[in-house]
Amino acid sequence: MGSSWTFGQKLGAGFVVTVGFAVVILVVAVYAIRTAVNSKDRVIDVNARNLADAGQLHSDIEGTSSSTRGYLLNKDEAYLERLRERRAAAKANIDQLRANSGSESERRAVDKVADLLDAMSTAQDKVIAERRTSTDMTAIASSFHEYVQPKKDAISREIRTFVADEEKLVTDGKRASSDAASLAINLMIAVGVVATLFASGVGFLLTRSLGTRIGTAVNHVQSSSAELQAASNQQATSARQQASAMTEITTTISELLATSKQIAESAQRVAHLADQASGSARGGDGAVQKGQEAVAQIKKQMDAIVNHMLELGRRSQQIGGIAEIITELAEQTNILAINATIEAAGAGEAGKRFGVVADEIRKLADRVGGSAKEAKGLIDETRQAVNTTVMATEGGAKAVEAGARQFGDVAESFRQIADLVRTSNEAAREIELSTKQQASAVQQVNGAVAELAQGSRETEASTSQTLQTSSQLATLARDLAKFVRAEKAV
């Protein structure tokens, strides 16, 4: 895997390993220093303070004993007050020692001192109570030496034992701190030696690898510079051809731009004509709608005429019925007149005048009958004329209705024409807009092609410069190869 690494990767790996050794040295140093500092802090903060507290506790015990003796000798209440103060101070020191104790043996020693202090306090209280009621100093002194003094001596022994243990812990802490510092120094020296040897080996390997890589790279550069020179010649030829092609493309796009502008103007004129056609279609639609309204009005009037003619036919039929009744009455009257004439003739001279009247009545009945027949004939002719008129009116109404439908179809056609003209107008405007956008795009393409042509000319110049640079690179590669070979010979 290491053979496939680049020189930069190898250099980075060597640097990382060197930094790793430095970090190891730093970690070891920090650990050793922290261990030494912790041991020192333990000695200073715990053991030394315990020694000081133990000394103060011993002083407080002695103080309680002195206060007790003072009261037993002088029977002064001030000694009792100092006794209480010393006891409180001794208990506070015991609590402090218990809190600072780091081992089980230290805590057992402190608890034993506390128990002995309680026992000594009880014995002192007992002797003090005896002194309050007795004046026999010999007995009181005997009680003091029998009960109080042994407790005090036991407390003193325990305190000395505790102090001896703490002094031993202080000595052990100092020795552990010194050992940790020595170990750290030895480890740092060892790691430093290993790091130095590693750095030397890495430097040698990197130098050797660098020489080999540079030699190989020089060979590649020589071959690549020759290829680059050939490619530069070919690229120069292609750049000249591309510049010529770009010139022709620029000319063609300029012609396309002029054509796009003409198309845009034509589309604009088409859109204007479509607007005019749309206005004419809207006007024709309005006229057709007005004609349709007029035809609808005519149809309404024709319907009214048909209704009136139908009503006239019904009236004619009624008049015909009346004429028939009149004809029947005339016939009956004529028959009655004939009968009256017959009767008058049978009556003789007396019935002549009645016969004349009957004859006149018959004549009148004949004239009424004739008139009724003529009226009936006129009524029949009127009825036929009315029927003919009704039929003609119905035909006209149907023609008017068909014309109205045709007007509706024409109006719908005009609306469709207007919609088509509107669609054509929108399409013409879209064509106009698209043509304008196309003209703008062609103009932008023209500018881009002009810039590309300029770039092609610059590429041609750059290719010439590249050709010159490749020649210089080939010369530099030969010089570097001579240098590397000279270094290897040395």
**In the block, residue with structure tokens 């029927």:** 387
Q: What is the pLDDT of residues 47-64, one digit of tens each?
A: 778 788 888 888 888 888
Average pLDDT over residues 410-438: 73
Chain centre to alpha carbon of residue 171: 69
Distance CA 380, CA 34 (A): 146
Residue 142 sits at the vertex; the CA angle it makes with 136 and 146, to the nearest 5 degrees, is 145
Q: Is the pLDDT of residue 81 over 90?
A: yes
- Report how far residue 468's alpha carbon sits from residue 471's, in angstroms, rounded to the nearest whole number: 5
Q: How far is CA 307 from CA 301, 304, 321, in A?
A: 10, 5, 21
Residue 71 pLDDT > 80, yes or no? yes
**pLDDT, position 15:** 73
What integer pLDDT is reported at residue 239 of this predicted model? 62
Give 179-233 pLDDT, tens digit per residue.
766 777 787 788 778 878 877 776 677 666 656 666 676 566 567 666 766 766 7
Mean pLDDT score of the chain, rounded to an integer? Answer: 76
The percent of residues in the chain predicted with pLDDT above 90, rounded, is: 4
Tokens encoding 325: 């009744």
pLDDT score recorded for residue 228: 63
Query: If you average pLDDT over residues 77-85, what whole number do you get?
Result: 91
pLDDT given for residue 115 in this prediction: 92
| C-alpha to C-alpha distance for 30 and 184, rounded to whole angstroms | 9
Residue 423 pLDDT greater than 90, yes or no: no
Q: Which of the four pLDDT bands, split at 50, 70 and 90, describes residue 490?
A: very low
3-state secondary structure the chain: CHHHCCHHHHHHHHHHHHHHHHHHHHHHHHHHHHHHHHHHHHHHHHHHHHHHHHHHHHHHHHHHHHHHHHHHHHCCHHHHHHHHHHHHHHHHHHHHHHHHCCCHHHHHHHHHHHHHHHHHHHHHHHHHHHHHHCCCHHHHHHHHHHHHHHHHHHHHHHHHHHHHHHHHHHHHHHHHHHHHHHHHHHHHHHHHHHHHHHHHHHHHHHHHHHHHHHHHHHHHHHHHHHHHHHHHHHHHHHHHHHHHHHHHHHHHHHHHHHHHHHHHHHHHHHHHHHHHHHHHHHHHHHHHHHHHHHHHHHHHHHHHHHHHHHHHHHHHHHHHHHHHHHHHHHHHHHHHHHHHHHHHHHHHHHHHHHHHHHHHHHHHHHHHHHHHHHHHHHHHHHHHHHHHHHHHHHHHHHHHHHHHHHHHHHHHHHHHHHHHHHHHHHHHHHHHHHHHHHHHHHHHHHHHHHHHHHHHHHHHHHHHHHHHHHHHHHHHHHHHHHHHHHHHHC
Rounded mean pLDDT of 344-352? Answer: 72
Cβ count near 245 (within 10 Å): 12
Question: Could you give the CA distance from residue 17 to residue 23 in angstroms, rounded to a whole number?
Answer: 10
Q: Give just the sign of the alpha carbon dihedral 296, 301, 306, 308.
A: positive
In this predicted structure, the answer to whether residue 363 has a pLDDT above a threshold of 70 is yes
Give the model's confidence band at 249: pLDDT under 50 very low, under 70 low, under 90 confident, else very high: low
Q: Which residue has the tokens 């218990």?
A: 98
Please compute the mean of the pLDDT values over residues 91-100 and round it to a whole number. 89
Q: Is the dihedral of CA 227, 229, 231, 233 positive or negative?
A: negative
Query: pLDDT (tens digit, 9 = 90+) per residue, 129-178?
Result: 888 888 888 888 888 888 888 988 998 888 888 888 888 877 887 787 67
Structural domains present in the chain: 2-214 (1.20.120.1730), 271-439 (1.10.287.950)
| pLDDT (average), residues 416-426 | 74
Taking the CA atoms of 302, 304, 310 and 315 in sequence, report the sign of the dihedral they define.
negative
Closest-CA residue to 368 (of 341, 333, 395): 333
pLDDT value for 312: 75
CA distance linking residue 384 with residue 377, whole number of Å: 10
Per-residue pLDDT tens over the stretch 253-294? 677 667 767 766 776 776 677 677 677 767 766 776 777 777
